[in-house]
Structure 1
Amino acid sequence: MKRLLLISCSGAKNKSTGTLPAIERYSGGVYQGIKKARREGSWPDETDIVILSAKYGLIFENTPVELYDQKTNQVRAKELQQKVSEALDAILKESRYDQIFINMGKVYMQSITLSLELQQAYQQGIVQEAFGGIGTKLSQTKK
């Protein structure tokens, strides 16, 4: 089963200089959970991770990311909306996923609302959004 995990960036970051793959740069709870699941061999196979970054827009987990400090807000989400939605459309057209899981806050979610491919995926019933508190969302993300 081919899966897509769509997550937001993290305010907590690895402070190393230079660039790091996005999955290594971000160090918040979701990222720690993913890394732990991978170390333990419990991470689902065939799962692509795409990250919505306040600075870079939509990036893959291996995209090189410099250390930065930029938080998203409604203005930034609106600025990213067209570019991010188009990028997400391209990803969803290229890789047909059986399941899409989204773990992002409401402001980040605004950046993907124009994605027609995502709207179709919702209609097909293959999209699930994380809900509840941080611990609950983290548990859902690891499944």
Structure 2
Amino acid sequence: MNHERLLILSCSQRKSHKEGLLPAIERYDGPLFRVLRRYWKTQDTRNQKTESKLDTYVLSAEFGLISAEYPTPYYDCCMTRHRAQILHPVVVDKLKNLLTGGCRFQELFICLGQAYWPALEGWEAFVHRDMAVHVAWGAIGMRQSQLYKWLYGTPPPASAPSKPEKTSFHGVTVELSSQQIFEIARQGLRESSRMATFCHMWYIPVDGQRVAPKWLVSQLTGLPVSTFRTDDARRLLAQLGIEVRRA
């Protein structure tokens, strides 16, 4: 008997820039999607019928609740509370059909960024009593670890420091790992730098505090904040694997 599992992930700011349409699982390229793609590959290489069937849906700021196979173009749309509230009726109706339709899922795992939850408000009403429900919590690194454990049944192996990402920004080469970037952010918080926490519309969550994207990029590149825009800072941080949220 197959063990039906349903996974719901929020979309990621980091996306593949390939032209045309890609399945959502290939278009989104945040850390959670990399964990999921690696898991799918391990299932494919087993060349045998697995005991657990996994259905995956993505809560997209642009398209609502879509299948992992949904043909998705490149776009630039961030989830906000207002956007989540607009999507809410359609998203909840889609989830209701998934949970109360012909397919009886035994497990549900929800892994969303904070801004996405208003779009799913009321989801508990459609969960049947014998379904095991798991809700990921914490910063994205913690949610990544919880997703890995749910998929594989074991905690992720102790990892070496992440490989530095390399990119160019206004003529400056940036080659830093996410750990190094977060340590720079923490240093600014420890020094109580006013500019570090001067957030208007966007922020990076660091240990329960908010760090300004432009300030952080200025620290990474040595460039004055007056020489680039917030959108430029967001794009660079996304390329470096850092989540930027809307305030």
What's the TM-score once normalised by structure 1's chain length?
0.89
Residue 82 of structure 2 aligns with which residue? 75
Q: Which residue of 2 aligns with 1:6?
A: 8
Displacement of 1:71 in angstroms is 0.2
Contact 1:22 1:61 in 2 (8 A): yes
Structure 2: where are the runs of 5+ without partners?
151-247
TM superposition shift of 1:134: 2.0
Give the number of equivalent residue pairs. 141
Partner-residue secondary structure (3-state), 2:66: strand
Q: CA deviation at 1:114?
A: 3.3
Pick one of 63, 66, 89 that aligns with 1:59: 66
CA distance in 2, matches of 1:20, 1:44: 28
Task: Decide whether aligned partners of structure 1 residues 96 and 24 sit closer, same or farther in structure 2, where only a CA change above 3 A counts.
Answer: same
Q: SS of 2:52's equivalent?
A: coil
Deviations 1:71-100 (A, max 9, x none): 010100000011110011011122211010
* 8 Å contact kept, 2:79–2:115: yes
Q: How do residues 9-24 of structure 1 correspond to structure 2 at under 5 angstroms?
A: 9-24=11-26
- The amino acid across from 1:73 in the alignment is T
TM-score by length of 2: 0.53
- For the residue of structure 2 that corresponds to 1:4, the secondary structure is strand
Could you give the per-residue CA deviations for residues 26-48 of structure 1, whole angstroms, max 9, x where no partner exists?
A: 00000001111222349983010
Structure with larger Rg? 2
Residues 122/7 of structure 1: CA separation in 2 closer, same or farther (3 Å cut): farther
Residues 37 and 131 of structure 1: is their aligned pair in 2 closer, same or farther, counting only changes over 3 Å?
same
Q: Quick one: distance in 2 between partners of 1:122 and 1:69?
A: 36
1:81–1:114 CA contact under 8 A, matched in 2: no
> Deviation at 1:138?
1.0
Q: What is the CA distance between 1:124 and its match in structure 2?
A: 4.7
Change (3 A) 1:120 1:85: closer
Q: For structure 1, which segment, 118-127 or 20-29, has the greater mean C-alpha deviation from structure 2 after superposition? A: 118-127
Q: Distance in 2 between matches of 1:44 and 1:8?
A: 26
- Residue identity in the other structure for 1:110: P
**Equivalent residue, structure 2, for 1:131:** 137
Indicate the residue corresponding to 1:37 in structure 2: 39
Aligned residue number for residue 111 of structure 1:
119
Q: Which has the higher contact order (CA 8 A, sep 6+)?
A: 1
Distance 2:104 2:84 in 1: 26
Q: Assess if the C-alpha contact under 8 Å between 2:108 and 2:131 holds in 1.
A: no
